[in-house]
Amino acid sequence: MRSKLVYNIEPASPSMIASLDRHCLNRVPDGSSNIVVARSYLNEVLVGDDRGLLQSLKNLYASGVQRPAKQAEKPYLRIVVSASPEFFRPDDPKAIGTWDDDRLTEWRKTTIDHLLAEFGSDLVFAELHLDEDTPHIHAVVAPTYSKKARKPGRKKRNETEEEFEARKAKAIAANGVRTVGRASHDSLSKKGSFQRLRERMALAVHHLGIDYGEDRSVNAPAGQSTREWVKEQFAEVRKEKGQVASDQEELAQQKAELGNLNMQISQLANELAQKKTTVQRLIDKRNNLRSRLPT
């Protein structure tokens, strides 16, 4: 049975980014994450600054990229990528906190390569976590677009037509400034873009034996964190696997019962055939005796 992709993507506010930064830097059990501190040294920053997510964003803005508009409530993307437990530990999916090294290495490379190909330099941070139940990658994207000055809509006072046209042409020809803003991004601002991202990730990991999983419901509880959702998905997958195993066991029992019934029917059929033979022999004997009696 093939494994399922876990790919949760959501718009993120600055406060949500700060919360993830704390989650990555302060590896202590927080009630929603089953963190085992003894394994935290295995976590690895794959993209960005080793000092954390917020420092990675500071570096982005220090490079000249402009900050999002003040009215932009959720200009970033927060992503969690993983797979159902049986992918990482096929011999014992219930052995939380364990994994097959070869499978982990291949999944890690495939996943990060795809994220980089998908988002390019907009992927500002990605960190692999190995100190929780199942390996997963937290990633943050700062979608950028080329911000240009608005094209003049009307002439200034005493401006000639030629001057107005020249001012419009200058605005159009001006180089844009790379600016963070999901709502102005060419593709990420469009409806259905998150599902398409998820579908492309599913294609990227398909050769590993991982298929498209369940979409996160848009009606999920407002207070539910990404980590809680991922944990919920793992639990749901385990439940489904358990139901499949139960159904298979029941089917095996029904097949065995059917086999027993077929055997009993075969035995009864043989007994019936033998009894018919005996009855026919008795009838023949009776008829023979009758034929010998005087009329």
260 vs 266: CA distance, rounded Å: 10
For residue 234, give the nearest of 115, 80, 125, 44 by alpha carbon: 80
> Is the pLDDT reported for residue 226 higher than 50?
no
> Is the pLDDT reported for residue 220 higher than 70?
no
For residue 9, give the nearest of 182, 240, 239 by alpha carbon: 182
151 vs 213: CA distance, rounded Å: 45
295 vs 292: CA distance, rounded Å: 9
Is the Cβ–Cβ distance between 205 and 83 less than 8 Å?
A: yes
Partners of 220 in the beta sheet?
none
146-177: per-residue pLDDT in tens? Answer: 887 676 677 888 778 787 777 777 766 667 78
Spatial CB neighbours of 42, under 8 Å, sequence gap ≥ 6: 130, 131
Q: What is the CA radius of gyration of the chain?
A: 34
Instruction: For the chain, give every domain's residue range.
Output: 3-143+181-245, 150-176
Is the Cα torsion angle 280, 285, 286, 287 positive or negative in sign? positive
Max Cα–Cα distance, the chain, nearest Å: 147
Q: What is the CATH number of domain 3-143+181-245?
A: 3.30.930.30
Tokens representing 184?
């102005």
Average pLDDT over residues 219-229: 50
Residue 185 pLDDT: 84
256-266: per-residue pLDDT in tens? Answer: 888 888 888 88
CA angle 49, 54, 58 (to 5 degrees): 80
CA angle 148, 152, 158 (to 5 degrees): 145
Using DSSP's 3-state secondary structure scheme, residue 20 falls into helix
32-90: per-residue pLDDT in tens? Answer: 678 999 999 999 999 999 999 999 999 999 999 999 988 999 999 999 999 999 999 99
Q: C-alpha 293: how far from its chain's center? A: 92
For residue 23, give the nearest of 43, 49, 46, 48 by alpha carbon: 43
Is the Cβ–Cβ distance between 94 and 214 less than 8 Å?
A: no
| The pTM of the whole model exceeds 0.85 | no
Amino acid at 107: W
Strands 76-83 and 136-141: antiparallel
Is the Cβ–Cβ distance between 149 and 177 less than 8 Å?
A: no
106 vs 101: CA distance, rounded Å: 9
